[in-house]
Amino acid sequence: MQSVRTNGIFFRKWMRCSTYIFMIFTAVNYIGDSIHGGNFYFFLLIVFLCLVGGFVFVFFNIINVKDDEK
């Protein structure tokens, strides 16, 4: 039962971190005057990279927290 609760926390942190990365990219891209020119595939690539970046950030953050608890 504990692992299910931990997985839910991990998923929420992952999605939140990915959303933050996506919001930062969107703001920078808007300021940069739409670098990609509205290409949908570029948008999907950025969403994928934000999900991967959020996953990596949260994964290593959880590892550090577990190391600190020991």
Range of the domain at 13: 2-69
pLDDT of residue 1: 42
pLDDT of residue 7: 67
How many angstroms separate the CA atoms of 50 and 20, rounded? 9
Q: Which amino acid is at 21?
A: I
How many angstroms separate the CA atoms of 52 and 14, rounded? 9
pLDDT in tens, 17-46: 888 888 887 777 766 655 556 666 777 777
pLDDT in tens, 4-20: 455 677 788 888 888 88
Q: Count of domains in the chain? A: 1
Query: Does the model's pTM come out above 0.75?
Result: no
- Let me know how long the chain is: 70
How many angstroms separate the CA atoms of 34 and 42, rounded? 11
